[in-house]
Amino acid sequence: LHSLLVQLKNPSRQETHHDMLAAKERMEDHFRLVKLFFDKNWHVAAQRPDGSSMAHRPGPKGSSHLLKFDFRNVFVEDAPNGAANLLLLPEVRGFSSESAECFFPCLSTRVVEVYGPGDVLVKQSWTAPVHLMVCIFFGQLSGPKKVHCLYHKTPMLAWQQLRQNFPKPNACTLVHQDVEESSDEAEAYIVTVCPEAEPNHFRAVLVFQLPEDGWNSWGDSFFASMLDEAYKGACSHFNRPIIGDLRQISADYYLFLSLRNFNRGCPLLPASSASLDPVVTVSAGEELGMARWQEFQTRSADGKLHLAEYLQFFLERLDLSLTIYESWGGQALVPYQCVVLRKEWEEVRSLVCLALRFQKAAYRRLHGGTTAPSLVEDVAPRVTESVETEGAMRNPLSCRVVIRKTFLELQEEVQDKVLKRNKSEPTLEPKTIEVAC
């Protein structure tokens, strides 16, 4: 993954495209490993009375060894409603790390770059005693292939992705992959959490990738003690100070938008003064400079209407700025959805929704009928079937801004039902209330 760092600094290099695809494929390989976490082909090295265990097995390609800590019935005080929100978004953990370090100094995370929601390049150090213990038994701090097993005194560059409702609903998985070393030597760890039967209790599985000969059976007599210490460390980590507040920030950090009712044609844009395209006029929008509208023409490579692209142009015509993403946890969203920072959206929402009301009127005048494209907020994210998409790591769409200081408040809000789309598009998180603009 060293090439990933190189391409960030020099995106003009010819090998950039290939390097990015190769790096993404390695990340996907780690997520594919999760399906092995719960099968029976693990050699148990130690086990606790509560069912927690320490186990190992060869890696799927024979070139690595997997070490697994399976923590059962971990109690989490003031836990979120579902396990999908138990792990923090890496960008939230990074942006708040300086404050959190006052209470939990053994973990330090700094954000280097955000590729998309839950998809971040970070610099991280972790110096908990249990990590040092694991590193002593299974790590290699010198030589051509270093293995730290999470233990880093010096912040190391790493790529992290968090996927909620993965590998199943009401679960989440975080993959951490070092970037400092070459692709063959890069370390990785994977954390998956899911709920237990008892409220506020969770199962947490932590897996390290070790070298092929990374299992040291000489330490068998120490493994029970190591498992006990690791279990205590997991309980401490999930209940560390201010973590409840950070989980709430993480859960509210982004807002998912969805476009509906555009089956009779693309939505409209405020017409530019230099436009030669056919224009539809709505007299009601004259005072606000929103009387003239024209049909949006997509420029996407697949020829489909992408909400992120449309919203970008829409905001530019209103002289507004908004960071827009088309991915979630490294996976591309369906074209009619996008995700924005909730705080940024709240600053522009009133004017955008007001403009969309005039857009609806112009759309009905152009196409007839009673329906028109609507923007729906707080929808459940839907990702495309294939994870082999390039859009997940592209830079966020953005547009330059001159924020308008005064505008009319939107008076009309409509309660709407959850969108129904093709069943092949998996719903990641159920929601019941949406507000349409």
Cβ-proximal residues to 372 (8 Å cutoff; 6+ apart), any chain: 261, 267, 359, 360, 361, 363, 364
Q: What's the longest Cα–Cα distance across the chain?
A: 82
- From first to last of the 437 residues of the chain, give the pLDDT tens digit: 434 444 444 444 444 555 667 778 889 999 999 999 999 999 999 999 999 999 999 888 766 789 999 999 999 999 998 899 999 999 999 998 777 767 777 888 899 999 999 999 999 888 887 777 877 777 765 555 556 666 778 888 999 999 999 999 999 999 998 886 555 556 789 999 999 999 999 999 999 887 666 676 766 788 999 999 999 999 999 999 899 999 999 999 999 999 999 988 999 999 877 666 778 888 877 777 888 899 999 888 898 999 999 999 999 999 999 999 999 999 999 999 999 999 999 999 999 999 999 999 999 999 988 899 999 999 999 998 654 334 333 444 433 333 333 333 333 333 333 333 343 344 444 343 456 77
Which structure tokens are listed for 20? 């990015």
Query: How far is 88 from 247, CA to CA, in rounded Å?
Result: 6
Q: In what order do the strands lie in the sheet with 119-126?
A: 43-47, 53-58, 64-75, 201-211, 188-195, 172-178, 152-164, 119-126, 107-116
| Cβ contact 123:110 at 8 Å | yes
Q: Tabulate helix, strand, coil % of the chain (nearest 5).
A: 30, 30, 40
| Cβ contact 437:377 at 8 Å | yes
Tell me which amino acid residue 275 is: S
Q: What is the mean pLDDT of the chain?
A: 81
* E strand map for 59-101: 64-75
pLDDT in tens, 247-270: 999 999 999 999 999 988 999 999
Cβ-proximal residues to 310 (8 Å cutoff; 6+ apart), any chain: 259, 266, 267, 269, 296, 298
